Every structure is written in structure tokens, then in C-alpha cells.
Amino acid sequence: MTDELQRWFAERVQADLGIELSDAQLNQYETYYRLLVEWNEKMNLTGITERGAVYEKHFYDSLTLGVLPEAVSARSMADIGAGAGFPSIPFKIAFPQLEVTIVDSLAKRIRFLQTVVDELKLNSAVLVHGRAEDIGRLGDHRDRYDLVTARAVARLAGLNELCLPFVKSEGHFVAMKGTDHAVELEESARSIRLLNAKLRYTRSLQLPLEQSERQLIVIGKLGKTPKEYPRKAGIPLKQPLI
Ligand code: SAM
């Protein structure tokens, strides 16, 4: 059974983002919403708990990745600093064949995500507890993913050093940003170059009801990550490559 909000969500996602969702998938979003609100009472996962707002600002916002050909054609994805699971869990629900790896440095968020993965019966979803600077040096994760994402983790110049080491040659890093990304983009030019990548393009979108602006910044990886990156945990955000 789906209700008015779920039908609105399915219609918007289909019309704006070109993503078709079945009733089974809509039920998965609803279960995710319930788990989020339930666990949020015990730990800090999100400031947004009103049902319509979660569907728009977390689920729809995560699914805006669907407008990017680089994202929908990806077979593997790593989400760095996913927190309560954004954008990777909503995107994985919509594209169940995608192999998803989630990295977060906070153990209790990883425990929450394990419950979500189990309850939603998501296959090929790997949860890694650790700092991106350390995990990005491991052979299983370095230069390995078609698509790497990060939403609301850090400013772009520092974020590039956390995320680009995970991207395979010819793969893409998508930074999900709000307004005011122009200065960030300017100050990120050096980090992009040093990490053997290239800015491809930026795509602007708006949330359907709230109408606030979103930017998807698409950065392509040109080859392997130079061996000096990422630097030791803590350094990339404290001393970004500006
Ligand atoms: N991406 C989610 C979202 O959009 O709602 C969560 C954003 S939350 C503000 C930032 C998350 O990044 C937190 O869960 C934090 O634990 C994680 N994080 C911060 N620095 C990190 C690092 N160096 N390595 C891995 N995770 C990190």
C-alpha cells in the first residue's frame, strides 16, 4: 500500500530524474524512513525528521544523482562520509544492481546502516568503519570505484583528497553541494590537479517543493592516485591542497 506522499515522490522522481520506482522500492524507502526516525531518538543521525521533508531533502536529493549518465552507468559506488546513508542508500534502493561501499568514521552510524542494509535486504552493500584517509590507502578500495560520492562532508579542496583516491581511472567523483559552490570550486583547482583528476562539469538542480538549489560537481579521474595521497588522517581537511 502506498499513500499520497509516496505517490508524489514516485511521480517527481520519474518526471524530474527519469527514475522508475516499483511499489516494492517505495516500501523500502518507507522502511528506511521509519528506521531513521526510530534510531534518531537514540543517536544523532539527522536534523530532518518530518516525513515529507525526509522524502524531499534526503531521498529525492540523493536521487538527483540519477540525472548524471556517469552515475546511472556505474557498476560500483563508494559513498564517503555517508552518515545516515546519504546519498548511497536511496540510490542503491533505486538501482539495486549497483555494488555499494559506504565509508564512515563513526562506528554507531555504521551500526545503524548495517540494520538498514539487513532490514531492506540490500545485496552487495559493504559497510566500512574508518577514516577515508586510511581506507583510501588499502588495495581493496584504492583506484577501484566507477563512482564516488560525498554529500555534506567538507569543503571541496579537502574533500577531493578524501574521495578521489577511491575513484578508478576514467571513473568519476560527484560532490553534492548546495548554493555558493563557486568559491569552493575555484579553490579546489590545485587539489584536483595534484590528485590526477579533471573537473568535467557542474549540473544545477532545484528541490521540487523547497526550491533550494543543488549542484552536482562532476570530477573525472585521469589515472592512478599519486602515491603521496591521501596524506595522514586529519591533514587533508586541516591543510587542504589549496
Ligand atoms: N553524507 C551524509 C548526509 O549528506 O547526510 C552525512 C553528512 S555528515 C554531516 C558527515 C559525515 O562524514 C559524518 O557521518 C562523519 O562521521 C563523516 N566523516 C567526516 N570525516 C570523515 C573522514 N575523514 N572519513 C570518513 N568519514 C568521515
Residue 201: predicted pLDDT: 98
Q: How confident is the model at residue 134 (pLDDT cuts 50, 70, 90)?
A: very high
Q: State mean pLDDT over 213-218.
A: 97
Q: Is residue 175 part of a domain?
A: yes
Which residue from 104, 112, 128 has its CB within 8 A of the most atoms of ligand 1, so it is best to mutate? 104
For residue 179, pLDDT over 90 is answered with no
Q: State mean pLDDT over 213-229.
A: 98
Q: What nine digits make up the cell of 217?
A: 560537481
Q: How far is the CA of 46 from the centre of ligand 1 (A)?
A: 12
For residue 145, pLDDT over 90 is answered with yes
Q: Is residue 30 part of a domain?
A: no
Residue 181: predicted pLDDT: 85
Q: Is residue 157 part of a domain?
A: yes
Measuring CA to CA, how many Å separate 224 from each of 33, 174, 221? Answer: 38, 17, 8
Residue 25: predicted pLDDT: 98
40 in Cβ contact with 58 (< 8 Å):
no
146 in Cβ contact with 168 (< 8 Å):
yes
Q: How far is the CA of 3 from the centre of ligand 1 (A)?
A: 32
Q: Is residue 55 part of a domain?
A: no
Nearest CA to ligand 1 atom 23: 131
For residue 143 and ligand 1, the question of a CB distance below 6 A is answered with no
Q: Is residue 200 part of a domain?
A: yes
Q: In terms of Cα–Cα distance, which of 174, 80, 96 is closest to 130?
A: 80
Please tell me the number of Cα atoms within 13 Å of 191 on its side-chain side. Answer: 26
Q: State mean pLDDT over 194-207.
A: 98
H runs (alpha helix) in 96-155 = 107-119, 132-135
Q: How many domains does the chain have?
A: 1
Q: How confident is the model at residue 203 (pLDDT cuts 50, 70, 90)?
A: very high
Measuring CA to CA, how many Å separate 56 from each of 31, 49, 89, 215? Answer: 16, 11, 14, 16
Q: How far is the CA of 11 from the centre of ligand 1 (A)?
A: 30
For residue 21, pLDDT over 90 is answered with yes
- CA–CA dist 98, 21 (Å, integer): 15
Which residue from 153, 166, 173, 231 has its CB within 8 A of the most atoms of ligand 1, so it is best to mutate? 153
User: Residue 109 is part of which domain span?
Assistant: 68-225
Q: In terms of Cα–Cα distance, which of 171, 168, 173, 133 is closest to 156?
A: 173
**pTM of the shown model:** 0.98
Q: State mean pLDDT over 83-94.
A: 98
Arithmetic mean of pLDDT over the chain? 97
Q: Is residue 99 part of a domain?
A: yes
Q: Is residue 79 part of a domain?
A: yes
Q: How confident is the model at residue 88 (pLDDT cuts 50, 70, 90)?
A: very high
Q: What nine digits make up the cell of 155?
A: 569543503
Q: How confident is the model at residue 180 (pLDDT cuts 50, 70, 90)?
A: confident
Look at the block and give the residue holding cell 556517469: 70
Residue 1: predicted pLDDT: 76
Atom index in ligand 1 nearest the CA of residue 150 equals 1
Q: How confident is the model at residue 117 (pLDDT cuts 50, 70, 90)?
A: very high
Length in residues, the chain:
242
The domain that contains 180 carries what CATH number? Answer: 3.40.50.150
Q: Is residue 165 part of a domain?
A: yes
